[in-house]
Chains A and B, each alone.
Chain A
Amino acid sequence: MFDTALTTNDLIFLAKGAGMTLIVTAISVFFGTILGIIFGVIRYQIGPWWAAPLTFVLDIFRSIPLLIQLVLANAFVTTVLGFRVSGFAVACGVLSLYTAAYCAEIVRGGIEAVPQTLRRAARSLGMTWGQDMTSIVLPLATRVALPSWIGLALGVMKDSALVYIVQVVELLKSTQILITRLQEPLFLLMICGLFYFLISFPIARFGSYLEKRWSND
């Protein structure tokens, strides 16, 4: 099994693919989280009735396969509108909105978990809405939301394997390219799977550790 034609060059090639996976994930999680917080606060603030259009749009991102979202967005922006946009930009755009759709739910759940009475108490102490949000809601909601958010970020990393469809060469695609040349599918797939696992597993563990620690008191 370890008698392989894999060279250092190939490992560098794989590492580049892994780098692409991490970059796409980082960009998407960053913008997705910012958007998600904005959408989540809006949804909570204006109530379910007025937020219905926003809820509907965000729900679409959670009800259609990511693969189809990528293909559609790519076809729409480049073929229908005729813009020259790289596959990388399309991938980051779609994944950001995808992240935002899930993040908005997490944020809303986090805010709802903060007891109303606590917030009323804060406001009656003379705090403004902004002060209430930053000093009362933010720290408490974060405790509730952070473990789910970690799960979301890891989910986005795994889902980023699908951006191959818009010609972004990430980890799984680089693995397939090497398989084409070297014909060692099992060995190469193991390496690829191991990489995802090594990134995801410790962070997931950390997430459940936080969840356990914070839910005890």
Chain B
Amino acid sequence: MKTSFFAFSLLAVSAVAMPAQADKLDDIIASGTLRCAVVLDFPPMGSRDENNNPIGFDVDYCNDLAAALGVKAEIVETTFPERIPSLMSGRVDVAVASTSDTLERAKTVGFTIPYYSFENAVVANEKVEMATWEDMKGKVVGATAGTYEAIWLEGKVKEWGVGEFRPYQTQADVFLALSQGQLDATVATVEVSEANVKSGNFPGIKIVDKAPMVPDYVALITLREEYGLINYMNLFINQQVRTGRYAELYKKWVGDGEPASLIVEGVYR
């Protein structure tokens, strides 16, 4: 407590004393560390290996970004509902956390161009009779609080007027509840659903159908006013695709096949 109060006053003094306009990009390079928020219950994008070290597409992506900046990467685990608050509270510099670029969020944080694009699947408990996504009507469904899928799904449940929607705090809890049969179905990204079905960690779940949502473009996020950093990251994402690193990471974490396209047809940017 004492030291933090001391730090407070020191910070306050330095804020007054230094009018220099160092932005976040300068701060990161000067501090020598890039702190990335990554969600680690979201395989293959983020998870932990048997030594509980963070691994996954997003983890590698953060490491690449840090390498490009010439700094050390520090992975800070967050949950989906916590990733924007942890950015706002200055606990992390950027979030490499599969964040869908919604307009609601853009009121609070700044988005780069998309660095990945998901399609969403409907995953159900095996004991539940389901053939298409519309069979979710009237069932108990759930997703991780505040995510793109959750907002869509809750909207659908409200539109149908029957059934129940449950927002769990973590992606892991959603699949645990689904596997236990507490949820009949959920909507999750195809990559994550396939990884979870394949891992065998969640017995009794199956992929039913694609969810009829527009492709879920996800972007890197940082504070809204950090244009310097956003510009840098835009170029970085472009370079990742150009140099073939994007395809390489796709192959490493998601599998063979064409990496998800990052182009939105028919629009300028």
Interface residues of A (CB under 8 A from B): 7, 9-10, 13, 27, 31, 74-75, 78-79, 82-87, 89, 92-93, 96, 165, 167, 169, 176-183, 185
Q: What residue in chain B is nearest A74 (Cβ atoms)?
A: B89
Please count how many residues in chain B sit with their CB below 8 Å of the partner chain's CB atoms.
Answer: 28
Are B1 and A96 interface neighbours, CB within 8 A? Answer: yes
Q: In whole angstroms, what is the CA distance A74 to B4 when docked?
A: 14
| B155 touches A (CB below 8 Å) | no
- Complex contact A167–B1 (CB within 8 A): no
B146 at the interface (CB under 8 A from A): no
Tell me, rounded to whole Å, the shortest Cβ–Cβ distance linking B197 to chain A.
13
By the criterion CB–CB under 8 Å, are A183 and B90 in contact?
no
**Which residues B171-213 have CB closer than 8 A to chain A?**
172, 176, 179, 201-202
State which of B76, B88, B91, B172 has its C-beta within 8 Å of the C-beta of A179.
B172
Does A78 lie within 8 Å of B88, measured CB to CB?
yes
Cβ B4 vs Cβ A183 within 8 A:
no
Q: Is the C-beta of B224 less than 8 angstroms from some C-beta in chain A?
A: no
In order of increasing CB-CB distance, the 9 nearest A-B pairs are A78-B89, A180-B172, A183-B201, A180-B41, A89-B4, A79-B88, A13-B52, A84-B90, A181-B48
Q: Name the A residues within 8 Å of B91 (CB-CB).
A: 78, 86-87, 167
Which residues from chain A contact B172 at a C-beta distance below 8 Å? 176, 179-180
Q: Are A183 and B52 in contact (CB under 8 A)?
A: no
CB contacts between A and B, total, < 8 Å: 72
Known: A83-B7, A183-B179. 16 other contacts (CB 8 A): A9-B51, A31-B1, A75-B89, A79-B90, A83-B8, A83-B90, A85-B4, A85-B7, A89-B4, A165-B82, A167-B78, A176-B170, A180-B48, A181-B47, A181-B48, A185-B176
Residues on B with C-beta less than 8 A from A87 are: 91
Question: Is A79's CB under 8 angstroms from B176's CB?
Answer: no
B:37-60 near A, CB below 8 Å: 40-41, 47-48, 50-52
Contacts of B89 in A (CB 8 A): 74-75, 78-79
- Complex Cα distance A83/B4, Å? 10
Interface flag for B138 (CB, 8 Å)? no
B33 interface hit (Cβ, 8 Å): no
Q: Are A180 and B40 in contact (CB under 8 A)?
A: yes
Q: Are B176 and A93 in contact (CB under 8 A)?
A: no
Q: Which chain B residue shows the least CB distance to A92? A: B1
Write 21 A-B pairs (CB below 8 A) sorted by A numbering. Answer: A7-B50, A9-B51, A10-B52, A13-B52, A27-B1, A75-B85, A78-B89, A78-B91, A86-B91, A87-B91, A96-B1, A167-B77, A167-B78, A167-B82, A167-B86, A169-B77, A176-B172, A180-B48, A181-B52, A182-B201, A183-B202
B67 interface hit (Cβ, 8 Å): no
Mark B5-48 against chain A: 1 for CB-CB distance below 8 A, else 0.
00110010000000000000000000000000000110000011
Residues of chain B with a CB closer than 8 A to A78's CB:
88-91
Give A7 to B40 CA distance when docked, in angstroms: 19
Which chain B residues lie closer than 8 Å to A180 at the CB level? 40-41, 47-48, 170, 172
Interface of A is mostly: helix
Task: Give the complex CA separation of A78 and B82 in angstroms.
Answer: 14
Q: Please, which residue of chain B has its CB at the minimum distance from the CB of A77?
A: B89
A10, closest chain B residue (CB): B52
Q: Considering the complex, give the chain B residue whose CB is closest to the CB of A89.
A: B4
CA distance A207 to B47 in the complex (A): 43
Distance of A175 Cα from B78 Cα, bound (Å): 15
Contacts of A79 in B (CB 8 A): 85, 88-90
Contacts A10-B52, A179-B172, A180-B170 given; does A93 touch B85 at CB 8 Å: no
Complex-state Cα separation, A185 to B177, whole angstroms:
11
A93-B48 in contact (CB<8A) = no
Contact of A177 among B1, B48, B50, B88 (CB under 8 A): B48
Closest B-chain residue to A12, C-beta based?
B52
Known: A78-B88, A82-B90. Contact between A183 and B82, CB under 8 A?
Answer: no
Please, which residues of chain A bring their CB within 8 A of the CB of B82? 165, 167
Q: Assess whether A179 is in contact with B176, with CB atoms less than 8 Å apart.
A: yes
